[in-house]
Copies of this chain bind each other. A is one copy, B any other.
Amino acid sequence: MSSERLIYLPLGGAGEIGMNCYVYGYGAPDKERLIVVDLGVTFPNMDTTPGVDLIFPDISWLEARKDRIEAIFITHAHEDHVGAVGLCWERLQAPVYARAFTANIARRKMEERGAPENDVRVAEAWPEVVTAGPFKVGLAPISHSIPESSGLVIDSPAGRVVHTGDFKIDETPVLGEPFDREMWRKIAKDGVKALVCDSTNVFSKAAGRSEIIVGPEVEKLIAAQEGMVVATTFASNVARLKTLAEAGVAAGRSVCLLGRAMRRMVEAAVAEGILTDFPSVVSPEEAKDIPRSNLMLLVTGSQGERRAASAQLSNGKYLGLEVKEGDLFLFSSKTIPGNERGVIAIMNAFSEKGVDIVDDNDGLYHVSGHANRPDLEEMHDIIKPQILIPMHGEHRHLREHVKIADSKGIAGVVAVNGMMIELSGNRPEVVEYIESGRTYLDGSVQIGALDGIVRDRIRMALNGHVTVTLVIDEEGDLLGEPWCELKGMSETGRSNAPLVDVLEEDLSQAVGRADRSVIEDDDKLEELLRRVIRQSSSNEIGRKPEVTAVISRLS
């Protein structure tokens, strides 16, 4: 048995859907040469991450070993796979490989964060390979909901790993490469050590549906409309954009793209030669002069994002365009769990304007980009791996996926972020637990999820905030009275007097009664002030606020 080993280590995306980042290594323990697969983001929410702009994996482990990183591979251009490449590059400084369209988007991500665009290199599709230390990595075309998605064929001295990336089995994907069973069979024919496999739709029991079924339904829908038609989908689903735009044109409508992300994606797809026959579009300026019955808008914001075009339109005019009674708004998309509130708010805002809303409830106007359970099973059967490691799923998805492996006699393991798995043996083996976690882009700064900064913000949101000020003179005597300023708290409470007066009075008494030893000690005095405010607020308004105590000692 060689002393070298093959390892797999997820740092993001395993135990969650979002911020994908997977590491493979080969070499002597703790000396493995490493490759990174994907550097994605996930999106914040008010519940757990108020004020945060983006969330991405904690890459400290990688950063400490950056001299061992041979390359970064990006499977496809979705935000949860490519979104953090610009944010992380400075700390990793390894070349980034992707196919042309993905590289185009990756370069924009690098540019945005001041990272060197030239470090993004275009890789040709499998059977071409990129040599990265002990690895040879091929980017094998696989169908998904964005052009040029790749599964990775990762060859190492310990054998071949197939990392599916996000995928579905679609032989008629409208745009880009159909799923190629023959190619995958050939890739698998000499044996595959491990299949690291998308798990998103493991709970969907029906066979997956092809992108091609959407077009005819959308055409029927649009043809029946008399007002303006507005449709939204994921900006990156270029095939869907094409389907929607073509349905619009077929119904005699001019098409206008609204929203930066959507225009960017179409630009990139055109630039890379993927999108050759997209209908010509009109500018918002031109759209204003086109009769509503001849106009179709394709807009960003399928997830209810507050600043996207759909939300803007639901609130009023956007770039001079406006929805009216009798228009139609089509969600050609699925609401990602957790985004319901935003989407519903937009639906109701449109409803108030008399706009009819059609969504994916009937399953006619959207298909998923991920393999459903029968398709996952087909992939297992094609690849016939020795080991199955589910990824791209919450814990419940990974666990369910391992159950499938078990039922087929494939050695499976639930490997969540931070679990280093050795793949060299016949069965996967957990060899180490790495500290993994989340990093927040907060304004222009990167902060750790456990720094307590966001926790303090959540506490202020839940409890309100009191600033208490005390001035103490040169002799150590109180100068004037303690003084409170409240934020986010009721102005009056139980006693009907202004809360600020009650607090100041209680503080005054407490400080008056306090020992000299407390007054002279900043920590003790602060503790006293905090305790009095929390107790007194609790009596008055049933709430214990966050407290900032400012003690000014004149000297």
Contact = CB atoms under 8 A, between A and B. Distances in A.
Q: Which 5 A-B pairs have the closest CB atoms?
A: A444-B542, A443-B542, A443-B543, A461-B461, A457-B488
Contacts of A467: 467, 548, 550
A471 interface: yes
Nearest to A362: B205
Given A399-B351, A458-B461, A463-B51, A485 B550 contact: yes
Interface in A343-390: 344, 347-348, 350-352, 354, 357, 361
A465 B463 contact: no
Given A341-B337, A396-B348, A396-B351, A462 B494 contact: no
Contacts of A348: 15, 394-396
Contact of A541 (B344, B444, B489): B444
Contact of A489 (B203, B344, B453, B479): B453
Interface centre among A50, A350, A488 (most CB of B within 10 A): A488
Contact of A488 (B46, B361, B453, B554): B453
B453 A457 contact: no
Interface centre among A457, A458, A492 (most CB of B within 10 A): A457
A508 interface: no
Contacts of A550: 467, 469, 483, 485, 550
Contacts of A46: 45-47, 50, 458, 461
B485 A548 contact: yes
Contacts of A347: 394, 396
A409 interface: no
A86 B447 CA distance: 45
A392 B323 CA distance: 26
Contact of A352 (B354, B395, B447): B395
Contacts of A50: 46, 50, 458, 461-462
Interface residues of A, number: 64
Contacts of A485: 548, 550
A67 interface: no
A260 interface: no
A400 to B, nearest CB: 8
9 contacts: A50-B458, A337-B340, A354-B399, A453-B489, A453-B490, A456-B487, A457-B460, A469-B552, A479-B554
Interface string A116-146: 0000000000000000000000000000000
Contacts of A487: 456-457, 460, 465, 546, 548
A464 interface: yes
Contacts of A464: 51, 453, 456-457
A130 B457 CA distance: 52
A445 interface: yes
A464 B453 CA distance: 9
A197 to B, nearest CB: 18
A498 to B, nearest CB: 13
Contacts of A320: none
B341 A445 contact: no
A460 B471 contact: no
